[in-house]
Amino acid sequence: MSKPHILLAEARFYNELADEQAAGAIEAIEEAGGTWERVAVPGALELPIAIKVAADGIVHFDGYVALGCVIRGETTHYETVCNESSRGLQDLALNHNLAIGNGILTVENWDQAWARAKRDQMNKGAGAALAALAVIQLKTHFGTK
C-alpha cells in the first residue's frame, strides 16, 4: 500500500475528547506511513456530510476517519444522533465505496467517553484510523477505487 492520505473529520462538541481521539488517530496513521488532514464540524450529525463534501472535492483522500462523541442525556436526541450519524457513515461507505473508520463514541457518561478516547486506555481514535487503513488495504488488494 502506498502512503495513504486520510481525512480526519472531527465533531468538536467536546473539544478535549476530540483532541485526544485525533491524537490517537494521527499516531496510527503516521505509524502506517500515512498523511492526514483535519476538518472540524460542530457535532456528530455533521460528520457524514463533511466526509461526502471532501470525497466530492478536488483533494484525493484514500480514507476517512469520523471522530466524535455522543453522551446520553435526558432526551431521545441521543438515539437520533447515534443512529443517524452511524447510518450516514455506513451509507457513504457502501454507496460510494469509501474507506471510513467510525470513531464516534456512543456512551452513557463522561467517564466512559474518556476511557474510550484516551490513548493509554481503549484508544478508539486509533481504532477508527486502523479500520480505515484496513479498508484501504482491502480496496487496494481488490483493485477498487
Q: State the residue for C-alpha cell 483522500.
A: 61
Supply 127's cell numbers: 481504532
Neighbour-count burial of 60, counting CB atoms closer than 10 A to its CB (0-12 exposed, 13-18 middle, 19+ buried): exposed
**Active-site annotation holder among 60, 77, 96, 141:** 77
Is 141 an annotated catalytic residue?
Answer: no
7-30 burial by CB neighbour count: b if 16+ within 10 A, else e? Answer: bbbbbbbbeebbebbbbbbbebbe
Residues designated as active site: 77
